[in-house]
Amino acid sequence: MSKKMGFFSVLSIVIGSQLGSSIFVLPSSLAPYGSYGLSSWWITGIGAVLLALVFAELSMKTTKTGGPHVFIEAALGKTAAFYAGWTYWLVSWMSSCVVVMTGIGFLAPIIGEQSAGVQLLLELVLLLVITLVNCKSIRTASQVEVFLTAIKYGSLIVLPLFTFSYFDSDNIQVLIPETPPLKIVGNVAMIAFWGFIGVESATVPAGSVSKPTRIIPLATVVGTICVALLYFIDCLAIMGMLDAKLLSQTSTAHSLAIERIWGTGSGQVMAALASFICIGTLNAWTITSGQIALGLSKDGFLPAIFGKTNREGAPYSNILMSSAGIALLLFLTQSKSMMQQITAFIDISVNAFLFIYLLCCVAFLKLLPSGQYVRKAVGLGAASFCVFVIYSTDLSTLALVALFPLSGLALRKGRPLF
């Protein structure tokens, strides 16, 4: 039996990486913007699909493991590739940290509010379980991801079918003061794009995929479109069901919706599902993170220890290192407000990924043969979207993002920077 991943395994990684805690945050975050928020959201969705098309095209040019840094090296050289890959690997810790915190945080309606110490212990147990699954083999981890993705996508597509019967367009109101349209689009894009981080995830484990030049492009585009449609349907259903003022002030919108349909206490089911969804996202990100470092090591950008694998081909060494880094982040942030941690981590993660995506768009455009006008338009559209969202970000966040590539200077010691 082949140890390589097939279409559904790769598709589950694409959907699982993107479909996480953001689906529960988006309705409340977009509620103050009303119909402007929903309209602006489509720009974010289109931007994500354009990026998916870029990565789909790039994945047809190589079967090497590593994803973004492989494409960047082919077009822009080794230095740009190293800093992009190093940043990608480090920022994946932060993204995973957010998923772990929200995954346990969503259980509060079931287990009650816990002390910081108990919260940390539960987070570490969740991280340990996912780490052990991924250290066994990528095939095992991908099979787990297929199961998790099927459950969470199926559950989330069913929910709007019930909530639409309570839909009232009067609930979708604009609560914010009069704001320039461009600023609204920028604000919404920053909020909503967290839900699309991972659009490139299928390209990362290319060496572990059967027929990668066929499966990866298809899974990337199909998966991203499925995620975009689910996000929009879910947001529209919840925003049309709950009053805008109530929705904008709650962090448990889906639980409120469920309780309105099935009565008090049923919201705990939604809390369990939300935690389950985060577990799936964490597993997908652990798969991706392990393959990123494996690819960097194989290409000589990281020491050989990062590329050590077991008999099943799992890069256990760098997975353990990543998990140790995530555990350290969880420990360092346990005494602060969880929502403040999550918001800060999301802002930094989104912008770090956008810089990497922008470099991939530049690589895509540079590798295009002359005369490919439709593909060039796709690449320019995706690059413009990245630039627009980055431009909408405050300078303090961008300064923190810059620390990621700068931290890689020590590993490049003795090598030319340009």
pLDDT digits (tens, 9 = 90+) for 338-366: 556 667 778 888 899 999 999 999 999 99
CATH domain 13-412 topology: Amino acid/polyamine transporter I (1.20.1740)
- The pLDDT score that the predictor gives to residue 414 is 45
Cα separation of 212 and 210, whole Å?
5
Residues 6+ apart with CB under 8 A from 325: 90, 93
pTM of the model as a whole: 0.90
| C-alpha closest to that of 46 among 354, 385, 374 | 385
Q: How far apart are CA 293 and CA 305, in angstroms?
A: 10
pLDDT at 369: 87
The answer to whether the Cα torsion of 57, 61, 66, 72 is positive or negative is negative
Task: Identify which of 354, 178, 165 has the alpha carbon closest to the alpha carbon of residue 260.
Answer: 165
- Report the C-alpha gap between 278 and 95 in whole angstroms: 11
Three-state DSSP at 209 gives: strand
How far apart CA 314 and CA 291 sit, in angstroms, is 9
Map residue 106 onto helix, strand or coil: coil
Is 51 in contact with 239 (CB distance < 8 Å)?
no
Q: Is 173 helix (H, G, I), strand (E, B) or coil?
A: coil
- Distance (Å, whole) CA 138 – CA 290: 9
Label residue 28 by pLDDT band (50, 70, 90): confident
| Cα(280)–Cα(19) distance, integer angstroms | 9
Q: How many residues does the chain have?
A: 418
Tell me the mean pLDDT in the region 304-318. Answer: 89
Q: Are 241 and 31 in contact (CB under 8 A)?
A: no
Instruction: State how far the Cα of 184 lies from the Cα of 30, in Å rounded to an integer.
Output: 10
Higher pLDDT, 133 or 162: 133
Q: Which two three-digit tokens encode residue 296?
A: 């960097």
Numbers of helices and strands, H then E, in the chain:
17, 0
Please identify which residue in the block is written with the tokens 């992009």: 84
Structure-block tokens of residue 301: 């950008």
Whole-number Å distance between alpha carbons of 130 and 125:
9
Contact indicator for 119, 334 with CB cutoff of 8 Å: yes
Please identify which residue in the block is written with the tokens 């259903």: 237
How confident is residue 199, by pLDDT bands cut at 50, 70 and 90? very high
Query: Is the separation of the CB atoms in 274 and 252 below 8 Å?
Result: no
pLDDT at 408: 84
Strand pairing partners for 285?
Answer: none
In the chain, pLDDT over 90 holds for what percent of residues?
Answer: 31
Average pLDDT of the chain?
86
Residue type, 173: Q
Least confident of 17-31, 80-94, 278-292, 389-403: 17-31
Strand partners, 5: 209
